[in-house]
Amino acid sequence: MNVAPRASAPLETAAVVAGLVRAYGERRVLDHVDLHIARGEFVALIGRSGCGKTTLLRALAGLDSIQGGRIEAPRTPAVIFQEHRLLPWKSLWQNVALGLGEPGARDRASAALEEVGLGDRLDDWPRTLSGGQAQRVALARALVREPTLLLLDEPFAALDALTRIQMHRLIKRLVAKHRPGVLLVTHDVDEAINLADRILIMRGGGLARDLAVTRPIDAADLRAELLSELGVGVETD
């Protein structure tokens, strides 16, 4: 795989958003949002339900039209959704290879499935998978495209707690290896702290805070700060 040299990677841009406006009729869901994501950078976007975080991700993915501003992003970024969205009528490797050019598609898909630990199930149907396994195939389908921008729309929300921990580890490892710029949309503060280099808080159609996560971190302090930003105060007895 073509991995950019580590030293130069942080300088490369994965995506730029400037003055982005997205409106449904009169209501502005995104109101002049600015955002820069570098390659190799893991950005988490948190906010309460309906604050517009998924809307921002969909705009970046090129799935929705925008009413103002500018987006610079790869034409086809890799996206992982909350549901795995595997095609039930295609075997696992065919799902991973969806939309790839013909020569060597199976080999590339096979290598990607190997990376997520499903290398021995190339020809199985998606119906035979558990929720966590299916999401791993979705991860392989995203990474096989060698994306410079990886968009994650609450991909762990539907998984059980233990599977989620495994997925966190896996995605950390694979992102470190392939170094795409990552935007993770989540409502889970702990997930954001665990995975991200930078945490953005979205409120009222704009980015309210931009916090760098410098490790080692004081997770408890950061957690309390994020929760209070989200309007969930820490309880005191």
Partner 1 sequence: MTILVGEMGASSSPRSGRRANRSPVPEITGERREHLLFLLSWISPLILVVLWEAASRTGVLSAHVLPPPSGVVFTAWKQAVGGTLFRDLFTSLARAMLGFLIGGGIGFALGTLVGFSLLFGALIDRSVQMLRTIPFLALLPLVIVWFGVGEAQKVFMVSLGVMFPIYINTVLGIRQVDPKLIELGRVCGLGRTRMIREIVLPGALPSLLTGVRYSLATAWLALVVAETIGASAGIGYLALDAREFLRTDVVVLTIVIYAGIGILADSTARWLERRLLDWHPSYAREARR
Per-residue x/- mask for partner 1, residues 138 to 157, rule CB under 8 A?
A: ---x---x------------
Query: How do 42-46 and 181-186 pair as beta strands?
Result: parallel
State the nearest-atom distance from the C-beta of 224 to partner 1, in Å. 37
Q: Pattern of binders to partner 1 over 94-133, x per CB under 8 A? A: ----xx-------------------------xxx------
Whose tokens are 């991995």? That residue is 3
Q: For the chain, give percent helix, strand, coil, nearest 5.
A: 35, 25, 40
Q: What are the residues whose beta carbons fall under 8 Å from the beta carbon of 164, sequence distance 6 or more? A: 156, 191
If the CB atoms of residues 125 and 194 are measured against partner 1, the closer one turns out to be 125
**Residue span binding partner 1 (CB under 8 A) among the ranges 48-56, 72-80, 162-170, 194-202:** 72-80
How far apart, in whole angstroms, are the C-alpha atoms of residue 193 and residue 226?
Answer: 9
* 205 binding partner 1? (CB under 8 A): no
Residues 6+ apart with CB under 8 A from 59: 17, 20, 22, 30, 66, 71
What residues make contact with partner 1 under the rule CB under 8 A? 61, 63, 75-79, 81, 83, 85, 87-90, 98-99, 125-127, 141, 145
